[in-house]
Amino acid sequence: MTQSPVPESLPTPEPPTPTPPQQGKSLTASVKTFLYETLTTILPALVLVLIINVFLGEARRVEMQSMEPNLYENQRLIIEKISYRLHRPQRGDIIVLRLPNHNGEPPLIKRVIGLPGEIVEIRGGQVYINGKPLTETYLTERADTDMAPCPVPANSVFVLGDNRPVSNDSRYFGPISDADIIGRACFRYWPLSQIGPVN
């Protein structure tokens, strides 16, 4: 039987001619990929920041001198919004509040003094709760002022600034509703030399 001769080598196939890249499509695809990756990275982060800011806490700057010597203007604070969902404000808490019917004005930082059902009175700068003097170790100066007895309604608090001579507080605008409390000042983070809890 005769065998067909085997060729010494197979012919080398010609390499395929490269197709020139389509510049327009490549650029569009790159932009779409960039936008997709940006949105899938940044959008969840923005949503998380929004949730934290609305429900958990936020940063605030002290605007005035009404809380000196415990808080000074331009200090930065963390305001937490969780605890008052679990319990009522406590006497001595430092809170951030909105003034009702004062749209556009910045929130105020004050200290809770009177609680619902109590009667707050000031005589010669001394605060009285239900006729008994209130011990305020955080004060360095009292305003030599008087205030007639003020009942604190349900779901409200009576607030004062620590710097009584210059503070705009419940002596002038009355008790504050719980609904107008933004949160509790819990931590001072700026300046770094004064970092620590707010008391």
Active site (catalytic) residues: 66, 110
What tokens were used for 119? Answer: 């009667």
Per DSSP, helices labelled H in 6-68 are 23-51
Q: How many whole angstroms separate alpha carbon 93 and alpha carbon 1?
A: 109
Per 3-state DSSP, the chain is made up of helix, strand and coil in percentages (nearest 5) of 25, 30, 45
Question: Are 138 and 199 within 8 A, CB to CB?
Answer: yes
Q: List the beta bridge partners of residue 121.
A: 128
Residue 82 · residue 99 · CB < 8 Å: no
